[in-house]
Amino acid sequence: MADKNNEWFDWLKALLFALGLAFIVRMFLFSPIVVDGPSMLPTLHDQDQMIVNKFTYKISEPERFDIVVFHASAQKDFIKRVIGLPGEHVEVKDEVLYINGEPVEEPFLREQKENMKSYQTITNDFTMEDLPGEYEVIPEGHVLVLGDNRGNSTDSRMLGVISMDQIVGEASLIYWPLDRMQFVGK
């Protein structure tokens, strides 16, 4: 009888340990997110399920073109691409991204640009000064984010720059649906 009690106690300890470990991993290291909407097409599709790495930005800063998840409000997280970093002036003019006056290639938009008609635009022209906050450069501790589907994305053009404190983590792995399983990013 004592052996059976010890066996149940051992199982209970193992189960509690596994639950505690899962809680720690989910809370501090990785968590799932479901893409909601078309704002990151063609890179991410509506209902793609991804893993968010919450740990990356505890030891490093976001880099240009990282795909990040951030708290847009208390109830809603958004997923967008980092375009501008602290201290930079960002501008888009005639479909060209300029960082501090220098053109920067956006490889993830190449297919969209190749397939667009002469009368279409992917990204309407804007400068930092046009955005909420009317900053000349991105303040320290903030980034500028845009969706890849620029014509259908609520991003820094409406929200303003995003505080690093709002960033949950980097989203770089689609795990569902299986036929779309891949690492995404730059």
CB neighbours of residue 66 within 10 Å:
22
Helices (H), the chain: 2-24, 56-59, 110-115, 156-159
Annotated catalytic residue, options 4, 13, 31, 39 = 39
Is residue 118 annotated as a catalytic residue, yes or no? no
Annotated catalytic residue, options 54, 80, 153, 172 = 80
Is residue 39 annotated as a catalytic residue, yes or no? yes
Amino acid in the structure at residue 104: V
Distances (CA, A) of 27 to 21, 32, 57, 76, 94: 10, 11, 14, 17, 43
Name the residues annotated as catalytic: 39, 80
